[in-house]
């Protein structure tokens, strides 16, 4: 079998397994409890209607997707700026690392939804509270990975750069950041997934008025469960596309290039 066919098969088989389990679960729930549980086919049909222009909670599906992506992008951008900045500074300045030791790990232990009361008290109900929850949840994994990448750089590499006349700026931008790039991208990938999960959960709770998470909850109240499942499918698709389709290839490329550069 050609490599491309094997790759496609490896991608399709897990999906077929999930769909099969889903179909069996739907039939069992209907048979045991008598509760209509959306099947994959019913969800697909509802998703087709939504993509064709059917209204969902007073808006099109594209409005909900667009607003969720906008909140995600804003929150993730801020988290990336803070996490990368902290990791680079703490990795180079021991005093900063010692003064803040344990804070990123502490933030990492706090579930995203635990920030709901804090977000509401600080910003009230709405968009800003959602972005805040994304930022505090996604910053920690980015910061920890960048800091680890900086600290794992071979000291001999830094000494060699110094011996070749590299100043502080050249050392920072041409040695340290490229060397830490694999860890940096790994942190971004983890932070991206964390931010996406927190976004959807936050939209369910803090009353954004639009968004995929908001739509899941509102569709439930109108017993439009196929629409809720359709939104879940869209959430999975976007998350997989961003993580597996964009950041993971970048992560592999960074690892490959840095490995070749250091051999």
Q: Flag whether 223 is in a domain.
A: yes
Mean pLDDT of 106-133: 91
What distance in Å separates the CA atoms of residue 136 and residue 128, rounded to the nearest whole number? 12
DSSP assignment of the chain, as one string? --HHHHHHHHHHHHHHHHHHHHHHHHHHHHHHH------HHHHHHHHHHHHTT--BTTB-HHHHHHHHHHHHHHHHHHHHHHHHHHHHHHHH-HHHHHHTTTHHHHHHHS-GGGGHHHHHHHH-SSHHHHHHHHHHHHHHHHHHHHHHHHHTS-HHHHHHHHHTT--HHHHIIIIIHHHHHHHHHHHHHHHHHHHHHHHHHHHHHTT-SSSHHHHHHHHHHTT-HHHHHHHHHHHHHHHHHHIIIIIHHHHHHHHHHHHHHH-
Q: Would you tell me how many other CB atoms lie within 10 Å of the CB of residue 210? A: 22
Q: Can you give the residue range of the structural domain that contains 205?
A: 61-262
pLDDT > 90: what percent of the chain?
A: 41
Q: Would you tell me how many other CB atoms lie within 10 Å of the CB of residue 235? A: 19
User: What pLDDT score was predicted for residue 130?
Assistant: 94
| pTM, 2 dp | 0.85
- For residue 83, pLDDT over 90 is answered with yes
Q: Flag whether 167 is in a domain.
A: yes
Confidence of residue 2 (pLDDT cuts 50, 70, 90): low
Confidence of residue 260 (pLDDT cuts 50, 70, 90): very low
70-84, 114-128, 169-183, 191-205: segment of lowest average pLDDT: 169-183
What distance in Å separates the CA atoms of residue 173 and residue 162, rounded to the nearest whole number? 13
- DSSP label at 210? S
Alpha-carbon separation of residue 256 from 31, 66, 253 (angstroms): 52, 34, 5
Mean pLDDT of 233-259: 77
Q: Flag whether 196 is in a domain.
A: yes
Q: Flag whether 52 is in a domain.
A: no
CATH, residue 108: 1.10.3720.10
Confidence of residue 256 (pLDDT cuts 50, 70, 90): low
Mean pLDDT of 172-182: 77
Q: Flag whether 15 is in a domain.
A: no
- For residue 103, pLDDT over 50 is answered with yes
Q: How many domains does the chain have?
A: 1
- For residue 180, pLDDT over 70 is answered with yes
Q: Flag whether 249 is in a domain.
A: yes
Q: Flag whether 2 is in a domain.
A: no
Most confident range (mean pLDDT) of 74-83, 99-108, 216-225 is 74-83
Q: Flag whether 205 is in a domain.
A: yes
User: What pLDDT score was predicted for residue 250?
Assistant: 74
- For residue 262, pLDDT over 60 is answered with no
80-84, 136-140, 173-177: segment of lowest average pLDDT: 173-177
CA atoms within 13 A on the CB side of 174: 11
- For residue 167, pLDDT over 90 is answered with no
Confidence of residue 254 (pLDDT cuts 50, 70, 90): low
**3-state SS, residue 35:** coil
Confidence of residue 226 (pLDDT cuts 50, 70, 90): very high
């Amino acid at each position: 079998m050609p490599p491309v066919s094997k790759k496609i098969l490896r991608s399709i088989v897990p999906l077929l397994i999930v769909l099969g389990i889903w179909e069996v679960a739907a039939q069992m729930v209907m048979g045991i409890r008598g509760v209509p549980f959306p099947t994959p086919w019913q969800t697909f049909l509802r998703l087709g209607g939504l993509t064709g222009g059917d209204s969902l909670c007073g808006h099109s599906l594209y409005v909900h997707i667009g607003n969720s992506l906008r909140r995600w992008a804003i929150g993730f951008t801020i988290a990336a700026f803070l996490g990368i900045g902290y990791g680079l500074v703490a990795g180079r300045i021991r005093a900063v690392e010692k003064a803040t030791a344990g804070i990123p790990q502490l933030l990492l232990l706090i579930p995203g939804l635990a920030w709901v009361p804090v977000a509401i008290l600080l910003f009230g109900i709405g968009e800003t509270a959602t972005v805040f929850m994304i930022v505090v949840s996604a910053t920690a994994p980015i910061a920890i990975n960048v800091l680890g990448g900086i600290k794992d750089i071979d000291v001999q590499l830094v000494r060699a750069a110094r011996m070749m006349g590299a100043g502080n700026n050249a050392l920072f931008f041409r040695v340290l950041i490229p060397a830490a790039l694999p860890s940096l991208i790994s942190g971004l990938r983890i932070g991206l997934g964390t931010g996406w999960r927190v976004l959807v959960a936050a939209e369910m709770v803090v009353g954004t008025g639009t968004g995929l998470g908001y739509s899941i909850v509102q569709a439930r109240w109108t017993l439009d469960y196929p629409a809720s499942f359709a939104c879940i499918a869209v959430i999975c698709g976007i998350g997989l596309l961003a993580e597996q389709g964009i950041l993971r290839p970048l992560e592999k490329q960074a690892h490959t290039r840095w490995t070749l550069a250091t051999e």
